[in-house]
Structure 1
């Protein structure tokens, strides 16, 4: 039975390291072939558990925390990437915390961009891009990334309009404004791939959404003829006595408030009590209060019932959903992130 591998030096333990760093620390070729180490990229090693932490897995299921996995792989790749490279597209989006449709939440390939005129990165597990000189860069947790706003513009070649609005809402929420998105799109101009969809999406981006499903709910209402609500704003008592709630969707003129109940609302008794108390306060003040969940999007009968109830409260008629052809995918988008061709992106 083979003995336990020699412990790694403290300078290399608990992180990915290059074979150059390993040699400088005195590790032999034999130690680098140890069963406890994996090779995420040529010239890189890390302890195998780093890539498959059991706490990130559902028994018999996939890795749950894609963002953590992308972070781990990006840190490993960064050890052997050129100094002028940065992570872009879906990889940058995940590292920034920008929501993507599930079909695009890939750990691999990593999207890596260099300036035009340089050799594209040619490594297994990497989708190479050129054009970095036209993007703004930031450093996040030690990694060079295309900025959030420029990443959103890059996603225009990959996502439909609704998914671009979801991503744009997150960027606008973090920035406190839609202005960075507008500036990035104007700066990139007609050279941006998917510019038509990006411009349509930008017209629908708002500051305030707390989640992707809140954005999708707002778009659902508007596509079916409901007036656009205010998003995540304070609702005050009519007699001026004080604060009632912060409503996810608020139609003040008709005194209607709607709340999206995500999974975190269920199984949390304290939060459930707070939700009930808030509802009673709002209804006692003469407001109509409507709750919705993900099933109101995915189940056609529930979706129609929700829209009819809101339309009745708002004094309007429900219209047929006729989204623009570019409004591809809500829950079934097909990934276009994969592939190995070099992309020269504006």
Structure 2
């Protein structure tokens, strides 16, 4: 058996960059981290120059904690590659009611939130009711919520996000170059 961090390093020989980033996000992510960033760095160092080392070095700077799903990772990478600012994964939002809500991909300064609705939302009545209450609370506090699913075309995700950010005052600063994040 190997540790999650060592397993992640070994996956670099078989996974493409985006899948490797998503796997790393899960290891650092929610509902609980399986490894620390230091453990990931140690495993990369132990991996050395073997096959997959370039993928590890490409993927590592883009791993984020607090990610719940692979799809959230893919949407985050899509947004950043489109030249939009990087959203905060699963950030807590304090609502005027005093309650807290967690958003999938949060643009805090602009008050914009991307919510990835997986298919489990169709079949879990309790989760659906919780989501409705949370989204109503966010709307009451004037958050712009963009809901997306697996079937939402990537161009639409980018266009809706860009429009919402511009409407909320984003002026295009800090646009990363496309080559700053490894491609699929």
Q: Pick the TM interval, shorter chain.
A: 0.7 to 0.9
Write the distance in 1 (CA, Å) between the matches of 2:180 and 2:90.
26
Please say if residues 160 and 326 of structure 1, whose CA atoms lie closer than 8 Å, have aligned partners that are also in contact: no
Write the distance in 2 (CA, Å) between the matches of 1:324 and 1:251.
20
Provide closer, same or farther for how the CA distance between residues 261 and 323 of structure 1 changes in structure 2, counting only shifts above 3 A. farther
Pairwise CA distance, 1:279 = 1.0
SS at the partner of 1:146?
coil
Pairwise CA distance, 1:324 = 8.1
Q: How many residues align?
A: 174
Please say if residues 58 and 182 of structure 2, whose CA atoms lie closer than 8 Å, have aligned partners that are also in contact: no
Pairwise CA distance, 1:256 = 0.8
> What is the alpha-carbon root mean square deviation over aligned residues?
2.3
Query: RCO higher in 1 or 2 (8 Å CA, sep ≥ 6)?
Result: 2
Which of residues 40, 48, 55 in structure 2 aligns to 1:189?
Answer: 48
SS at the partner of 2:12?
helix
Which of residues 146, 158, 168 in structure 2 aligns to 1:307?
Answer: 158
Pairwise CA distance, 1:269 = 2.6
Report the TM-score when normalising by structure 1: 0.47
Which of residues 72, 78, 92 in structure 2 aligns to 1:220?
Answer: 78
Pairwise CA distance, 1:290 = 1.1
Write the distance in 2 (CA, Å) between the matches of 1:172 and 1:164.
12
SS at the partner of 2:89?
strand
Gap runs ≥5 in structure 2:
none
Write the distance in 1 (CA, Å) between the matches of 2:58 and 2:44.
12
Radius of gyration: which is bigger?
1
Relative to total residues, which structure has the larger helix share, 1 or 2? 2
Report the TM-score when normalising by structure 2: 0.85
Which of residues 200, 206, 211 in structure 1 aligns to 2:69?
Answer: 211
Provide closer, same or farther for how the CA distance between residues 232 and 176 of structure 1 changes in structure 2, counting only shifts above 3 A. farther
